[in-house]
Amino acid sequence: MSQNELVSVCLLLVLLCSSAESCVQRHVQVRVPQKLQAGYVISKVNLVDCGRHTYLTCSDPDFTVQTDGTIFTSHLTTVPDDGKSFWIWVEDATGEMWKVDVTLSLADQVSQKSSNAVLKRFKRRWRPLPFSVTENDKGPFPKDVELIASDSSVDRTVYYSIRGMGVDTEPENVFQVIPDSGLVRVLKTVDREQYPKFEFMAHVYDKFTKTESDDPLPIIVNVLDLNDNAPEFSDPLLFVVTEQSKQGTYVGKVNATDKDEPNTLHTKIKFILQNYTDLFTIDPSNGVIRTVNKQLDRETQERFFVNIEIRDMDGAMDGLSARGVAIVSLTDINDNPPTFRQSTFKAQVLENQASVLVLRIPVDDKDLKGTPNWNAVYEITKGNESGNFWMTTDPVTNEGLLYVAKPLDREKQEKLNLEVTARNQAPLVSTTGTWQTALVELNVGDVDEGPEFAAPILRLKVKENVPNGTLIGTYTATDPETKSSNGIRYYKIPLSDPGSWIKVEESTGQLKTINTIDRESHLVINNTYNITVKAVDQSQKTGTGTVMILIEDVNDNVPVVPESNRVVCTMDGKRSSTLVDAVDYDQTPYSGPFTFELASGVTGKWKLKNATGTSIILEQAEDMPNGVYQVPLLIKDLQGVGQEQMVSVRVCDCDSDGVCSGQGVSARLGAWGILAMLLSLLLILLLCLLLLFVCTTKGEKLRMTDDDGSGGMLLKSNTEAPGEEVKETPLLITPGSKADGSGTKGGGTLDYQTIRSFRGGYGQQNTIGSQGMYGTGQFGNSFQKYSDMATMETWQTNEVYLDNKLLYFNEEDDRRFAADVLKPYGYEGVGSPAGSVGCCSIISDQDTLDFLDTLGPKFRTLADVCTSKTVRRGQ
* For the chain, domain boundaries: 20-114, 131-224, 232-331, 339-445, 452-552, 565-668, 669-696, 699-875
Q: Which residue in 562, 579, 568 sits closest to 649, CA to CA?
A: 568
Helices (H), 220-375: none
The most confident of 114-118, 590-594, 726-730, by mean pLDDT:
590-594
Report whether pLDDT(248) > 80: yes
Q: Which residue in 180, 208, 219, 167 sits closest to 40, CA to CA?
A: 180
Report whether pLDDT(194) > 90: yes
- For the segment 663-673, the average pLDDT, to the nearest whole number, is 52
Q: Are 742 and 874 in contact (CB under 8 A)?
A: yes
pLDDT interval class at 745 (50, 70, 90): very low
| Cα within 13 Å of Cα(610), Cβ side | 8
Instruction: Give residue-wise pLDDT tens across range 277-310.
Output: 999 999 999 999 999 988 899 999 999 999 999 9
Say whether 339-445 and 20-114 share the same fold.
yes
pLDDT interval class at 179 (50, 70, 90): very high
Kind of pairing, strands 84-92 and 97-106?
antiparallel
Instruction: Give residue-wise pLDDT tens across range 573-623.
Output: 677 888 999 998 888 888 889 888 888 777 678 888 888 888 988 888 888
Which CATH number applies to 565-668? 2.60.40.60
Given this model, what pLDDT does residue 817 score?
45
Given this model, what pLDDT does residue 866 score?
60
Report whether pLDDT(871) > 80: no
Which CATH number applies to 232-331? 2.60.40.60
Query: Which of left, alpha, beta for 117 (phi over 0: left; psi -120 to 50: alpha)?
Result: beta
Contacts of 224 (CB under 8 A, 6+ apart): 132, 133, 134, 135, 192
Strand, coil or helix: 367: coil
Angle between helices 661-668 and 670-696 (to 10 degrees): 60
What distances in angstroms separate CA 255 from CA 310, 328, 422, one per listed residue? 10, 15, 45
- Cis omega (within 30 of 0) on the bond before 171? yes
Report whether pLDDT(723) > 70: no
- For the segment 34-45, the average pLDDT, to the nearest whole number, is 82
What is 131-224's CATH topology?
A: Immunoglobulin-like (2.60.40)
Q: Are 382 and 359 in contact (CB under 8 A)?
A: no
Contacts of 772 (CB under 8 A, 6+ apart): 801, 867, 868, 869, 870
Report whether pLDDT(840) > 80: no
Given this model, what pLDDT does residue 822 score?
54
Q: Who wins on pLDDT, 95 or 515?
A: 515
Q: Who wins on pLDDT, 101 or 284?
A: 284
- Cis omega (within 30 of 0) on the bond before 407? no
pLDDT interval class at 808 (50, 70, 90): low
Q: Indicate the CATH number of 452-552 among 1.10.3720.10, 2.60.40.60, 3.90.79.10, 2.70.150.10.
A: 2.60.40.60
d(CA 14, CA 98): 8
What is 20-114's CATH topology?
A: Immunoglobulin-like (2.60.40)
Instruction: Give residue-wise pLDDT tens across range 65-89.
Output: 887 788 888 888 888 888 888 888 8
Report whether pLDDT(9) > 60: no
Q: Are 174 and 167 in contact (CB under 8 A)?
A: yes
Q: Are 340 and 435 in contact (CB under 8 A)?
A: no
d(CA 791, CA 793): 7
Share of residues in the chain with pLDDT > 70 (%): 71
Q: Who wins on pLDDT, 144 or 813?
A: 144
Report whether pLDDT(566) > 90: no
Q: Indicate the CATH number of 339-445 among 1.10.620.20, 3.30.70.1400, 2.60.40.10, 2.60.40.60.
A: 2.60.40.60
Q: Which pTM does this prediction carry?
A: 0.41
